[in-house]
Copies of this chain bind each other. A is one copy, B any other.
Amino acid sequence: MTIYQSLWVKVALGGTFDPLHEGHKRLIRKAFGIGKDVVFGVTSDEMARRKFRRVLPYNLRVRNLKDYVKRTYGVDVRVEKIFDIYGRTIDEDFDIIIVSPETYENARKINEKRIEIGKEPITIVVVDFVLAYDGKPISATRIKNGEIDRFGFRLSQDTYDLGSYPTPPTLRLG
């Protein structure tokens, strides 16, 4: 499903990116499918810790992200540290902002603010979650809670709701 041929599109994509999971990778793939000029907003440690108790330091998260993008798409990307949901998206113009359904409302807030100050809204692209083994979205919270790994496989027996979901064959016990 390669979609666009594009050069001049400036794309914004924000997150904490810890750990870098399949959901992030789908967003990143979509971003590079749309344009080559992708600007990543990565949450500051302070901002990230409002959501997650434990999080890798900013520099390490950026390094992991940059390494992944370089390895996968062959480009060095620009990363901006962000301290709120807006990041650079008010001062700078972007053609596209990529979000998941979970962060869609942030993109709406960005556009509301832009419209308020007389700027054009940014076109929002919503890329759906990647689902884990149990049909629920992969998320950093679930990974950090030890429910699933970053590929969406089941990790902990304790949190497994017996009988509700099938276990993938590769993980089936005994």
Contact = CB atoms under 8 A, between A and B. Distances in A.
A39 interface: no
Contacts of A120: 1
B127 A126 contact: no
15 contacts: A1-B120, A3-B8, A3-B9, A3-B95, A4-B4, A4-B34, A5-B6, A6-B6, A104-B126, A115-B128, A123-B125, A123-B127, A124-B126, A124-B128, A125-B126
Interface string A120-140: 110111111001000000000
A31 B123 CA distance: 12
A101 interface: yes
User: What 3 A-B pairs come out closest when comparing CB atoms?
Assistant: A121-B128, A124-B126, A5-B5
Interface residues of A, number: 27
Contacts of A104: 104, 126
A4 B5 contact: yes
Interface of A: 1, 3-9, 30, 34, 95-96, 101, 104, 107-108, 111, 115, 120-121, 123-128, 131
B101 A108 contact: yes
Nearest to A9: B3
Contacts of A125: 123-126
Nearest to A126: B124
A160 B139 CA distance: 47
A166 B95 CA distance: 29
B128 A126 contact: no
A108 B108 CA distance: 15
Nearest to A5: B5
